Amino acid sequence: MATVSKNTAKRPRSILPGFGLSLGFTVTYLGLVVLIPLTMVFVKTSGLGFAGIWKAVSTDRVLAAFRLTFGLSALAGAINCVCGFLVAWVLVRYRFPGRRFLDAVVDLPFAMPTAVAGIALTALYAPNGWFGQYLTPLGIKVAFAPLGILLALTFIGLPFVVRTIQPVLEDLEPAQEEAAASLGATRGQTFWRVVFPPLIPALITGSTLSFARAIGEYGSVVFIAGNMPGKTEIVPLLIITKLEQYDFAGATALAALMLVISFLLLLITNSLQRWSSRRHSK
């Protein structure tokens, strides 16, 4: 009896059993699968010393690759934010023949090997491809140019936005829109003041996922990028190149820097998302 009361005094009894066990499993699993491998990146890098790291990452070629990767990934995330929203809106709000088929198509970038996407896009947009042959005379270069990389990154990120917004959109009560209308709101006001705000957290989450996915993307980009150093070379490719030259330390230095930047960006967007979902919580 005494021990029981001592236990209950320590922490409140929970109706869910197995907290200790499941937390232990979670920590072990995350450690083995995520944290330890990532730590190795830093361990390997630290062998270089600060000067070595600086030397490895401060070249023009590396900086250009970083600018390209993060810039285009952010742009792809923004494009997907808008277009993914529209796709989700159409899939949720309207009933039309072929809707289920379109809904399934959205998942293809998830399921397909990304290299296949890269090859397909290159075939379409290369100067002699279906689209490329008409774009090239107009002076628009897609394949083997930053525009092509952007296309590939947008392609692989789309499902993230659509799939995070869809359930939230489905949960919206039609009565809220009717209420807005009966209070005299125009369609535009109803959308911006009633429908859109509850979607903001999901929209941020989806775009962030799309952005994060794009930063690490390799397979679909290498085919369409052309990989010209300083122009169309992305960081993941640069890392592979260094590995092929047996420059392991240099490769891990780039990887470590990428990790740090990604982590900081995710931290920012996560707190942004948390802030907005608190504002819009039910």
Partner 1 sequence: MSILVQNLRRTFGTFQALRGINLEIGHHQLVALLGPSGSGKTTFLRMLGGLDFPDPGNGRIIIDDEDVTEQPAADRKTGFVFQHYALFNHLTVYENVAFGLEVRPKATRPSKNAICDRVLELLRLVQLEGLEQRLPSELSGGQRQRVALARALAIDPKVLLLDEPFGALDAKVRKDLRRWLRSFHQEIGVTTVFVTHDQQEALELADMVVVMNQGQIEQVGPPQEIYDHPATPFVYEFLGDVNKVRKPGRPDLFYVRPHEIQIVFAGDCSADFHARIEHLFAAGPSARLTLRLLDSRETIDADMTRQQLDEMGLSEGDEVGLKLSASPPSAPPAASL
Chain positions contacting partner 1, by CB under 8 A: 173, 175-176, 178-186, 189, 193-194, 197-198, 279-282
Count the neighbouring beta carbons within 10 Å of the beta carbon of residue 256: 21
Q: Which two tokens stand for residue 196?
A: 């859109």
DSSP symbol at 129: S
Nearer to partner 1, 140 or 183 (CB): 183
Q: How far is the CB of 273 from partner 1 (least distance, A)?
A: 15
Q: How far is the CB of 119 from partner 1 (least distance, A)?
A: 45
Contacts of 205 (CB under 8 A, 6+ apart): 164, 273
Nearer to partner 1, 133 or 176 (CB): 176
Q: How far is the CB of 270 from partner 1 (least distance, A)?
A: 20
Nearer to partner 1, 42 or 192 (CB): 192
Q: Distance between CA 205 and CA 203 in Å, rounded?
A: 5
The amino acid present at 262, given as its one-letter code, is S
End-to-end Cα spacing for the chain: 42
Look-up of token digits 């922490």: 11
Nearer to partner 1, 10 or 282 (CB): 282
The alpha-carbon radius of gyration of the chain (Å, integer) is: 24
Nearer to partner 1, 21 or 175 (CB): 175
Q: How far is the CB of 118 from partner 1 (least distance, A)?
A: 41
Q: How far is the CB of 200 from partner 1 (least distance, A)?
A: 9
Nearer to partner 1, 107 or 178 (CB): 178
Q: How far is the CB of 193 from partner 1 (least distance, A)?
A: 7
Q: Distance between CA 231 and CA 215 in Å, rounded?
A: 17
User: For residue 189, what are the CA distances in angstroms to 90, 118, 177, 186, 217?
Assistant: 19, 41, 10, 5, 39
Contact 140, 147 (CB under 8 A): yes
